[in-house]
Amino acid sequence: MNFKRVRKMMAALSVAVLALTFYLAGNGCKGETESGPVAPSFSLPDIDGKIISLEDFRGSPVLIDFWATWCPPCRMSIPELVRLQEEYREKGLVILGLSMDDPDQAPDSYLRAFKEKYKINYPILRANRQVILDYFGLETPAIPTMFVVDANGRVVSKIVGFRPRALRDSIRKLIEG
């Protein structure tokens, strides 16, 4: 085996990888909202029986919150979501709460009372298996998990857990630039 030749090939490969890294850092990863994957489409019933589709909000920034009533961090995030909806509604923000509660344990009447008690000012929809699979794949979903979707329908961030500062920063960056 010619070690001199192998060293030259390794050096050339290293230079190529370094050049690609600098190229991507300078051109390919500028944090543009168009760079994210397209948010999976869905049409789901809200707690009043109205079908709401993600496509209804194309052209607006959307925050999709996967949550459940029995989840303490989910409950902790509700006041922040209410504030964000109030603050950014005029700028087009739409928040959709996708409940992962079992309908047998938490019927729509329970969710309506929960919505009133917590003064939730955005629609609550029922997540189904397909939408959970579309957004989480085969991983076990952690809740709360929030997907921030730009006006073009692309996911610009995924926030797992109760992280109000990260959520606020993501929304602010999306809406205010």
Shared-domain flag, residues 80 and 163: yes
pLDDT at 100: 97
- Here the CATH number for the domain that contains residue 58 is 3.40.30.10
Shared-domain flag, residues 78 and 96: yes
Shared-domain flag, residues 22 and 79: no
Shared-domain flag, residues 37 and 18: no
Shared-domain flag, residues 107 and 146: yes
Shared-domain flag, residues 12 and 97: no
User: Each residue of 53-109: pLDDT tens digit?
Assistant: 999 999 999 999 999 999 999 999 999 999 999 999 999 999 999 999 999 999 999
Structural domain containing residue 16: 1-30
Shared-domain flag, residues 78 and 149: yes
Measure the N-to-C terminal CA separation of the chain; round to a whole number of Å: 56
pLDDT at 2: 53
Shared-domain flag, residues 82 and 169: yes
Contact 93, 175 (CB under 8 A): yes
Closest-CA residue to 128 (of 66, 74, 77, 48): 66
Query: Domain tally for the chain?
Result: 2
What Cα–Cα distance (Å) separates residue 89 from each residue in 4, 27, 36, 82, 113? 65, 33, 23, 10, 23
What does residue 50 show for φ and ψ, rounded to 5 degrees? -80, 135
User: Each residue of 13-22: pLDDT tens digit?
Assistant: 333 333 333 3
Full-model pTM: 0.79
Closest-CA residue to 139 (of 160, 120, 170): 160
Shared-domain flag, residues 69 and 141: yes
Shared-domain flag, residues 14 and 38: no
Shared-domain flag, residues 82 and 132: yes
pLDDT at 30: 34
